[in-house]
Amino acid sequence: MKNTLSLVRKSLIFLIGYCLLEPISASELMQTIESVKPSIVGIGTFLQLRSPATSFVGTGFVVGDGLSVITNAHVIPELIDGEHKETLRITVGKGEGIEYRDAVLIAMDKLHDLALLKISGLPLPPMKLGDSTAVREGQSMVFTGFPLTGILGFHHVTHRGMIAAITPVATQAPNAKYLDVKAIIQMQRNAYPVFQLDGTAYPGGSGSPLYDPETGVVYGVINKVINSTKEAAITNPSGITYAIPVNFVRDLIARR
């Protein structure tokens, strides 16, 4: 009898553990993707004299009050042609249609490659921000954005990725001549942890939210991929993608 009870206990522990480790089902992932798509927007600029007038640059996602958008700092053009009334613009997918919104830059964190925009119009559904310190290596994530900046049409595209490593990174100097001792020490001081993924991102996906496939909670912001050349990013991607932990997004918003 005692051996039987022991066997039952072991079987229950195994089943509970298996249920906890069981991967999310396809139907659950589909529901999550469908729920977050209204919060994910295209980032670009608008210039009436240009053809096309709206130029896609990257991806962003809505947070907070529904009028705040997070993207990468490198997605925001360094120069805006104010003389010809060029403006920042976001693009929202509305079923089969597209809606455009004006945007202004509110804050930027170049060290962590993040930017905060404020958009016009009615609030959009915001995504919930998680605690990136809770993320562990081996954890499954997904990210949704607009790869190839609309060349394939304005359609949300989702990729899977596992947290392959949580590794420190430092902002690189423009070229080798700036790498003196003082610069190297400063780089080491500015090092911070990022998520390395074994998922493939493409140009235009910068600024995409990295989120939990079951809950849709955001844990990072896609910001770069490792490739030998720009052309290789499309024709021969490495499958090594990096994301900025979302707690740096929290810090940026809190400074406002």
For position 225, what pLDDT does the model report? 79
How confident is the model at residue 154, as a pLDDT? 79
Domain assignment of residue 170, yes or no? yes
Asked whether residue 100 falls in the same domain as residue 168, the answer is: no
Residue 92 in this model has a pLDDT that exceeds 80: yes
Residue 29 lies in a domain: no
Residues 6+ apart with CB under 8 A from 53: 46, 47
Task: Flag whether pLDDT at 52 surpasses 50.
Answer: yes
In angstroms, what CA-CA distances link 200 with 79, 82, 212, 243? 29, 36, 17, 12
- Nearest to residue 159, comparing CAs of 202, 125, 194, 195? 202
Q: Which residue, 60, 92, 119, sits at the end of a domain?
A: 119
**Is residue 26 a part of any domain in this protein?**
no
CATH number of the structural domain spanning residue 194: 2.40.10.10
Domain assignment present for residue 5? The answer is no
Domain-embedded: residue 138: yes
Query: Which of 101, 104, 95, 87 lies closest to 42 in space, CA to CA?
Result: 101
Question: Which of residues 84, 119, 154 is at a domain's end?
Answer: 119
Residue 115 and residue 138 share a domain: no
Q: Which two tokens stand for residue 216?
A: 């849709």
Please state the φ and ψ torsions of residue 179, each to the nearest 5 degrees: -90, 60
Overall domain count for the chain? 2
> Do residue 156 and residue 238 come from a single domain?
yes
Residue with tokens 């949300």: 156
Same-domain pairing of 72 and 156: no
Whether 148 and 235 share a structural domain: yes
Residue 197 lies in a domain: yes
Domain residues for the domain of 62 are 35-119
Q: How many residues does the chain have?
A: 256
Residue 106 lies in a domain: yes
| Token digits of residue 250 | 């929290």
Share of the chain above pLDDT 90, in %: 54
Would you state the pLDDT for residue 170? 59
Q: Which among 89, 119, 149 is the end of a domain?
A: 119
- 0.85 exceeded by pTM: no
- Whether 210 is in a domain gets the answer yes
